[in-house]
A and B are shown apart, each in its own frame.
Chain A
């Protein structure tokens, strides 16, 4: 079974902090994705990567960056956290489709 592991289930940070969310997959998938999920807005794509060191912006990249130095790991970075980035963050990976999701990180910015 594919396993996508997000490093934290719950995280509390303060405004202005630099925040790192980590995601690791164990199936050698080329494609990895970061989404955020908010009530009433559904899941929205922040960034995705189709290979090591390759990245593309999704629908809402502002305030975020990503890093993919190794195939199995895709990191989401909040450069200077703000309260409007409080959300559930979901990572996914896929060879093609369907995408396999981690359990999510619920991030609160105070």
Chain B
């Protein structure tokens, strides 16, 4: 059974730092991997989607990488800002049914 783990569970950094959030999964036969952002009391917003054949995706200050063989993905946030404070969730899909398996998230606080 696929399990998705995110470490650390919480992270606090000063504004301007570059940071890396980690996601690992136990079954490497994934269909794709997504990173989401969740603000307190809100739903999820999709940030980046990486297909199983891709190595990375970029959007603005965000870069997500995927290493299927080692069961790992990282989300890199450049020049962090207080507005980046949120919980970041990683999720994998095992097939084209679009069902997602989520990690528990990393709660990020960027201090001014």
Q: Mark A residues whose CB is within 8 Å of B.
A: 4, 31, 33, 35, 40-45, 48, 50, 56, 58, 90, 92, 94, 96-104, 106
CB distance from A89 to the nearest CB of B (A): 11
Distance A102 CA – B44 CA, assembled complex (angstroms): 8
Distance A90 CA – B91 CA, assembled complex (angstroms): 15
Q: Mark B residues whose CB is within 8 Å of A.
A: 4, 32, 34, 36, 41-46, 49, 89, 91, 93, 97-105
- Tell me which residues across on chain B come within 8 A of A40, comparing CB atoms: 104
Distance A6 CA – B102 CA, assembled complex (angstroms): 21
The SS class assigned to the B binding surface is strand
- Tell me which residues across on chain B come within 8 A of A41, comparing CB atoms: 104
A94 and B98 contacting across the interface, CB-CB below 8 Å: yes
B105 and A45 contacting across the interface, CB-CB below 8 Å: no
Distance A106 CA – B102 CA, assembled complex (angstroms): 19
Minimal Cβ-Cβ distance residue in A for B105: A42
Distance A36 CA – B34 CA, assembled complex (angstroms): 18
- Tell me which residues across on chain A come within 8 A of B103, comparing CB atoms: 42
